[in-house]
Structure formats: structure tokens, C-alpha cells
Structure 1
Amino acid sequence: MNYKAVIDAGYNSFRLSLYSIFPNLSFRLTASLKDYVRLGLGVSEGKPIPEENVKRAEITLRKFKEFLDRKGIKEAEILGTSAFRYASNGTEVSDRLSSIIGFPITVLSGEEEGRYSALAVINTLPIEDGIIFDLGGGSLEIAYVSQRKIRDVYQFPLGGLRMMDKNPEEIKKEVRIALASLPSSKGILVGSGGNLRAIAKMDLKLEGEKLDQIHGYSVSYERIAKYAKILPSMSISERSQLPGIDKERALTIHSAAIVVKELMEIMGKDKVMTSAFGLREGILIESEIENVDKLREFWMEGVSYNFNVEPFVDSYREALKETKDVAVSTAFYLLQLMKASNFLDPYMGCYKVFREITIPGYTADEINVITTLCALAKKFKKKYYNKVKKLIDKDTILVKAKKVKELHEAYELGVRKW
């Protein structure tokens, strides 16, 4: 197996991600280790990183090194972010930590950090135009995207940990001043970063959504505004009792919610879409996948490799040409993949498996419809349709499900039988 190890040495947390790299250069997260090092805690522009923070980082990197050594991983890419950029001793600390892990730390500029994060979003979600932001512990990066190309990138010292001790009005004022000169943009608003993902997980549970899928999941401005108002009034203990929020995340989620709310107001956006992919994944693919059709084919191949099945994407193209329906064509392809993987019931295998794993290239609503098509292609059951009735009417989805079944029965391992 071809592995790629990436360590994100962030302002708030350090995370080691180990990816399996497939022949088409798509990937799967295979292992992940994380520590809330809080390297940037107490660091302001031009001030040093405190010694106690560095010692916590050393302990974490020794753990990471032991893991890499035991797995026989000989190379790792280590990305240093805003704590190293802001601190007067950032270079000294990066050299010291590099000697612990045995690989050099690359300290990214704010623009590089924002570009890599945006690249991950573009290459895992079907977006054309919009604004992509990465909200970390120490900084906020904002990238403008047009026709799936990254145009401009901005960086601001507005991270969740950096602002956690400020009162809501101070945070609002600081965000408003910092972002005042940003241009507006058409298209959607998409965000990455641990705090936004935690907000999305919480929202999924509180709103009773039917799919545990945060990649491509959208949260409305009204709900973000509600969280930005309520979370700061709660204690850390109270916040940690909320669904999707652990004790460590409870320290920063309140300030992050305010930053997201203010950003949405400034940009005039009524919802924010969440990306499960960010900086670490951004360095795995060198450039923007040029269009959404190729994006989806790329990840259909990746999903096939994930199940140790040689891709048969030509059948997806044939189905798409015939039906002009992405949901039908994708459901058909996933059914074929389940059959090739020896699932006794490909229909329910498709429904259950692909609601539990992240399939890049699609929004959460699209995955909800696609997996439900798999189930309904076998037999209509109200409990399955109820999960998508807000997205598609019954008659329409039944017609689509019938077509999915016809295609599935007409093919074997991606080859049409008749």
C-alpha cells in the first residue's frame, strides 16, 4: 500500500493523518492521531511561543514519531501554520520540533495555507464559484473561487483559540474591522476547520437531520446566528454536553461561531456549507480538477479502489449520457460496486455503507438522495422515502429508482449485458 503521512502542526491542535494513495491519486484517510497541543495559546504578534507550549508539542511529536516508526513510514510532510508565523521564536521552535519528529517542518504563509485549504474543498465538492474559508485556532483564511479556479487569498488573525477569551462584542468588532475591505462574490460560502465541523455535527443532531454526513452539509444563517448568541452564554461544561462538542472543542466553538456569523453577514450569505476536507488534504492533489463531471469520475474511481475493485467508470459515463441524471447514474455505479464487492444485498449494502462513509464530489443532500435511490430500487418503503421527502417528491424518486434498478440489472461489473 502506498501511504502518505501529513502532520498539521496547528495553532490549536496537532494532527497526524495517514492516507492510502490510490493509482489515480485519489486517497482515503487510513489513520488519524490528534492532540490539542495549543501551541499558539498566549501568543500574539511578535511575542514568543511559551516554553510550556513547546514542551507539549514535543510530547505529541514523540507519540507521532513512534506511530510512524512502527508503521514503517519513512517520510512525512509537516505543515506549520499561524503560531509559527506570528511568534518571534517561530523559526527556532520549528527547528527544535523538526529534530524531534525527524522531518523538517514547512511553515506556510497565510496565503499558502488558504490556498491548500481551498484546493481541498474545490477537489471534494461540486462547486463552481464562491468563497472558501478555513477557520483555525489562530487564523482565518479566505479564498475567492471563480470557475473552479482559486483567484485571491486573504489571511486574518481571527482564530477560535486566539479570540476565545474576548467578549462577543469585541469579537464582532474585530471581525468587522478586519474584513471590511473584502470584496463581495457570487456563489456559495464553504468552510473548513474543526470548529465549523463541530458546529455542523451539532446542528445535524439538534435539527434531527436524516444523514450523519457533514461533508457538503449546509447550515443556515438563522441557525449559525442562534449558536453565536447562545454558545458564549454557556459555560465550557455546558457546551461540552452538546452533541458533537467535546470538552476541548468547547473552549473555542463559541468564538468561532461568532466569526462565522459575522463573515456570513459581511458576505451576504444565507447558508454555509461544511467541508470535511481542508489543509492536510489540499497538499495531496496538486491542482484544481477542472470540472464537476471529472471531479465525480475521479472520486468514483477512488471509491472503487477503496473496495479493492478495479474502477469501471465508463459505465457511469454511459448511464449519465443515457439518463442525464447524476443521482441515478451514481446510485447505479455504487450498486455495481457493491455487487462486485460480494455484498449479498447490493441495494441495502449501498444504502447502509454509503451513508456511513464520506464520498467526495457530492453534497450531503446529494448523498442522501443517491443512497435512498439504492434502497427504493429494491422496494419502496416509507421509512426510506421519509429521509428525503424534503428534497424530492415521491413520484419523481420512484421514477428514478426504477431506472436505477433497470440499469443495475442490465450491467455486470460495469459491462452492459444486453
Structure 2
Amino acid sequence: MTEQRIGIIDIGSNSIRLVVYERTAHGAHRVIDGSKRAARLSELIDENGNVPDHVISDLIDMMNHFRLICAYHNAGYIRAVATAAIRNAANRSEVIAQIEAGSGLTIELLGGEQEASYGFLGMINSMDIRDGFLIDIGGGSTEVSLFRDRTLVQSVSFPFGCVNLSRRFAPKGILQDEDLRALEAFVAEAVSKEPWLAWSPGLPLVGVGGTVRSLGKIHQAHVKYTFQSYHNYPIPGQDVDLLFEQIRKMPLDKRRKLPGLSKDRVDIIVPGVAILRALFHAMRASHYLVCGAGLRDGLFYATRFPNQPKLPDVLTYSVSNLAALHPAVPRKHVAAVNRYVLQLFDALSPQYHLPERARVWLDTASTLFRIGASIDYYDYTKHTFYLMVNSHLSGLSHREMLLCAGTASYKSKNRAKLLAASFKPILDEQDVTLISMLGSLLQLAIALDRSETQAIERLTIDVDNGKLLLCAERAEGQLVVEHKEVDGLAHEFKKIWGLAPQLSFPGYR
């Protein structure tokens, strides 16, 4: 796939979505446009199980609208897929044929297991998780998969979702006690035919799709969460049970004002979460985990990287992609800083009780610390922090993202304290110490290439009598700038690490 821009269209049961992806000149991938249209196709199927002609006409109009958007972006390839609502329609062949004839697009009709596999691919390429269940509650189907060691093991597609079960059990979005019991019995009956769902208790239930995303936003608003991202957001099972009962008993006019809930989900959020809870308890899952990626992301990876769509290392790809989105960064300088800081960490970490993942965080921070300069060099650390916490840094928890961004933008321990105070309770006092240690180490590594000439070819590190001895054994020039910068950091570095750094080099007196 050589096209620089790809359009992905997902004709879902609840909504129809377009995403346009771009490959930049420096090899980075990013979303440059997107559009969504409410469809509720599962509600519009007639009594004979057919998609009516007027609905097909509306679908053709939407496809042509999305095709024009792709044309404006010069997208070289458009991949359009249809899922449960059309898959389950009695006249699905006719629907596909008419849409293709009216829009000029080829429409792939995904089977249930295909849909599950693309959803899994989108999730596994955006999260650092090895084992769990994956659920995607759509409007007309629910896909559930078990994965082990980052590999899809088994999946099933149930022919029910939040729209068609709302129509059956919760007219106008109101789910009474008796209807709830009937819905849960209906789901339990379907689950009983898939005994493998109960064979792996204690695993997280990762959710993709609108129902789970909405639940994550509602929960974050409820607990006044201080980090603005729902991707990779964990929710305890008992919290979902309590929220579900609160939302279920709300009249629709009050539910419309619920923070985190979009207007087009007011009437289907309750049956959607009812499905989610029923499966959670049947699996005896440990907790919920919200994933912001899914089917469309999986389709993108399968289209762009057909030979190896599953990423071998999510975080490495994500960091490299974000760095490539900021090509003005001095790459040789960043590479030198990254090399020095990891060497410093490896030399010092055995003597300090640092978390196991601290080297990964430092590697990430030292690769991205200069991206903020693409906005403005002055106070670029502030921009670096913003870009890191608001970009798709996959493979990190929210706390880890803040630790990496705090390290990359580190200036002083007082600034680190202010950062932690802004993101309580995600960050605590121990995290202030950790950010200060890693951040000051990064500042020292930056000082070692302050002239941005990569003058130090080989660095040896030793600790002696309260001093951190840095010897540039092979160096070009006199390292005058680097020496002065290291001296300038020595006082603050000693307060944090208990060591005073000293730089020496051949011919230095």
C-alpha cells in the first residue's frame, strides 16, 4: 500500500464513520479528517428483515458525501466495510449492490469473526496488554474475543447490540426491572452456548466502541478524573454496577445532561451497559479497561501493513511515530542525549531503588523532549508536555504518560510538585521524587551535548566520594560549553541524586 492517504469507512449498525489517514513525508501516520453520521440501521429494518429502499438511498448519499471528503484530501484508496445491520439483513446482497452502484465504492461485508479480528488488531496495536477479553458492543452485534500472549485465541459474534436490544427491551431508553431481568436472561442464554467464555476468570475485559467509551467518560466525570483521556482507562466492576443503576433510573431529560454522555446515546447507553455487565459477570473478569481504538484502526493497520499488521512493540512504534510528526527536531542531538541518558541510568540505577519500568520511561522522555520546539523554541518544555499528554502515546498507562511527559519537560523539583498537584491522585509525592530523578538525569544528558555537535564520542562514568565523574575519553574540541553547562547543573543534581557531576576530557585542567 503506497498511497499517502487512505480513507476508511465503517457502515455500522448505530453510526457510519469516516476516518482519513495520512502518511507524512517523514514516514509518520496520523488522522487528518473524520466524520460521523448517526444511522441506527438496526432500528430501521422492516418486519421482513429488509433494509428499506429509502434507507438504502440515504446510505448512498452518505457514501457519496464521504467519497467527496476523501477526494478533497486526495485519498488514493478508500476501504469501505459494512457490519452487523447489513450482514443480518435479509436483502443484504441487494443493499450492497445498490450502494456500490450508487457510490462507485466497493463495499466489504464483514463476517462476525472478521469484525472481531479487526477490532482486536486495532486494540492490540494501541495497548501494552498480554491477556484478556475484548468486547465490542455495536448497534446490532456484540463481538467478544479471548486473547493470550497478545494473540487472538477465540472469538464469537452475538447477533445483538445496544440498538436492537433497546428496541426489544428498552423502548425509548427506559429499562424497567422486569425488562432488565429479561435482557440479562436473553444474554445469558446466548453466553451459555459459548462455554469458553467462563474458562478464563480474573482477566481484564477490554472494551472498544461507543458504549464503553461513553461509560469511561461518564465515570471520569463522576470521579472528577484529572487526566483528559479515556484510552487505557481502568474502571472497577463495582463502579460500573453503581453507575448503571444510577443512569437506568434517570428520566431521559435528566440523562441528556449527564456529563460525558453524548446526545445520540441517551436512549441506548442503558441497554449497552446492561450487555456489558452481563458478559463481565459471566466471564468473572477482574475489571474493565476502556480502549479508544477499534475496528477502523484495525482496518487501517491491515491495509497499510498487510504483511505484518500487528505491531511487535506498541510503545516503540508510537514514540517513533510521534517523533516523526515533528521533523524539525535536531535528530542527531536527540539521539546523542538518548544515548547519554540511558548510559547514565544504567550506571546509577543499581545503587537506587527505581521502578522496573523507569528505563522505559526515560527512553521515551529522552526521545521526545524536543518536540515542543516545533511549536515555539522558547519555553519548548511546556509545549513538549502538552504534545505528549495529548498525542497517541500507546503502550503507557495514564500515570506513565504523565511521568514521561513530566520527565521530558523537567525544569525543577518545584515544577514537578506543581505537576503532581494538578494531577492528583494519579501522581503522588513518590512520583515527584521519581520525575525529579529522571528529569535531572535527562537535563544532565542534554548538557553533555549542549553545543549540539555530538562532540563526545565515548563517555565513561564512575562514582567516587560523592562525585559523578564523567570522562569524555574520545572528544572533539574542548567541550567548553558542555563543561560550563554540567557545572551549572551540579548543585541541583547533587540535591536530588546525592552526587555532584564533573565533566573531564583529554587535555582538561
TM-score of the pair, normalised by structure 2: 0.74
- Is structure 2 residue 78 aligned with structure 1 residue 63? no
1:386 corresponds, among 414, 418, 421, to 421
1-structure distance, mates of 2:39, 2:374 = 44
2:132 corresponds, among 126, 130, 133, to 130
Residue 43 of structure 2 contacts residue 163 of structure 2 at CA under 8 Å; is this kept in 1?
yes
Counterparts of 1:10-409 in structure 2, within 5 Å, are 10-22=12-24, 27-43=29-45, 47-165=49-167, 166=169, 167-180=179-192, 181=195, 182-185=197-200, 187-286=203-302, 287=308, 289=310, 291=312, 294-309=313-328, 322=345, 325=358, 326-339=360-373, 342-381=376-415, 382-391=417-426, 393-409=428-444
Does the C-alpha gap of structure 1 residues 251 and 204 become closer, same or farther in structure 2, counting only changes over 3 Å?
same
Q: Deviations over 1:330-378 (max 9, x none)?
A: 2232213334665422322222222333322223332233233445544
> How much does 1:309 deviate?
4.9
2-structure distance, mates of 1:23, 1:179 = 48
* 3-state secondary structure, aligned to 1:158: coil
* 3-state secondary structure, aligned to 1:283: helix
Residue 28 of structure 2 contacts residue 325 of structure 2 at CA under 8 Å; is this kept in 1?
no
User: Paired residue for 2:478?
Assistant: none
> How much does 1:295 deviate?
1.8
Residue 408 of structure 2 contacts residue 442 of structure 2 at CA under 8 Å; is this kept in 1?
no
* 1:335 maps to amino acid: F
Q: Percent of counterpart pairs with the same letter?
A: 21
> How much does 1:384 deviate?
1.5
Once the two structures are overlaid, the 10-residue window that deviates more, 61-70 or 383-392, is 383-392
Does the C-alpha gap of structure 1 residues 99 and 189 become closer, same or farther in structure 2, counting only changes over 3 Å?
same
Computed over aligned residues only, the root mean square deviation of the Cα atoms, in angstroms, reads: 2.8
1-structure distance, mates of 2:163, 2:454 = 53
> How much does 1:405 deviate?
3.3
Residue 318 of structure 2 contacts residue 392 of structure 2 at CA under 8 Å; is this kept in 1?
no
> How much does 1:408 deviate?
4.2
Does the C-alpha gap of structure 1 residues 416 and 33 become closer, same or farther in structure 2, counting only changes over 3 Å?
farther
Residue 17 of structure 1 contacts residue 33 of structure 1 at CA under 8 Å; is this kept in 2?
yes
Residue 336 of structure 1 contacts residue 408 of structure 1 at CA under 8 Å; is this kept in 2?
no
Residue 6 of structure 2 contacts residue 76 of structure 2 at CA under 8 Å; is this kept in 1?
no
> How much does 1:241 deviate?
1.2
2-structure distance, mates of 1:141, 1:305 = 34
> How much does 1:320 deviate?
5.7
| Higher gyration radius (CA) | 2
2-structure distance, mates of 1:11, 1:331 = 41
Residue 232 of structure 2 contacts residue 291 of structure 2 at CA under 8 Å; is this kept in 1?
yes
Structure 2: gaps (5+ residues):
170-178, 303-307, 347-356, 460-509
Does the C-alpha gap of structure 1 residues 174 and 402 become closer, same or farther in structure 2, counting only changes over 3 Å?
same
* 3-state secondary structure, aligned to 1:164: helix
Q: Deviations over 1:98-135 (max 9, x none)?
A: 22332110000000000000111111100111111111
* 3-state secondary structure, aligned to 1:132: strand
2-structure distance, mates of 1:45, 1:416 = 76
* 3-state secondary structure, aligned to 1:152: strand
Residue 369 of structure 1 contacts residue 388 of structure 1 at CA under 8 Å; is this kept in 2?
no
* 1:404 maps to amino acid: G
* 3-state secondary structure, aligned to 1:354: helix
Once the two structures are overlaid, the 10-residue window that deviates more, 349-358 or 142-151, is 349-358
Residue 420 of structure 2 contacts residue 428 of structure 2 at CA under 8 Å; is this kept in 1?
no
Residue 21 of structure 2 contacts residue 32 of structure 2 at CA under 8 Å; is this kept in 1?
yes
Q: How many residues align?
A: 416
Does the C-alpha gap of structure 1 residues 362 and 59 become closer, same or farther in structure 2, counting only changes over 3 Å?
same
Residue 81 of structure 1 contacts residue 107 of structure 1 at CA under 8 Å; is this kept in 2?
yes
* 3-state secondary structure, aligned to 1:5: strand
Structure 1: gaps (5+ residues):
none
* 1:259 maps to amino acid: I
Residue 143 of structure 2 contacts residue 156 of structure 2 at CA under 8 Å; is this kept in 1?
yes
* 2:441 maps to amino acid: E
2-structure distance, mates of 1:377, 1:145 = 42
* 3-state secondary structure, aligned to 1:162: helix
1-structure distance, mates of 2:455, 2:225 = 37
Does the C-alpha gap of structure 1 residues 318 and 146 become closer, same or farther in structure 2, counting only changes over 3 Å?
farther
Once the two structures are overlaid, the 10-residue window that deviates more, 22-31 or 92-101, is 22-31
Does the C-alpha gap of structure 1 residues 162 and 415 become closer, same or farther in structure 2, counting only changes over 3 Å?
farther
Does the C-alpha gap of structure 1 residues 174 and 364 become closer, same or farther in structure 2, counting only changes over 3 Å?
farther
Does the C-alpha gap of structure 1 residues 41 and 120 become closer, same or farther in structure 2, counting only changes over 3 Å?
same
TM-score of the pair, normalised by structure 1: 0.89
2-structure distance, mates of 1:193, 1:127 = 18
2-structure distance, mates of 1:26, 1:320 = 25
* 3-state secondary structure, aligned to 1:72: coil
Residue 43 of structure 1 contacts residue 86 of structure 1 at CA under 8 Å; is this kept in 2?
no
* 3-state secondary structure, aligned to 2:128: coil
> How much does 1:230 deviate?
2.4
User: Paired residue for 2:463?
Assistant: none
1-structure distance, mates of 2:50, 2:342 = 56
> How much does 1:34 deviate?
0.6
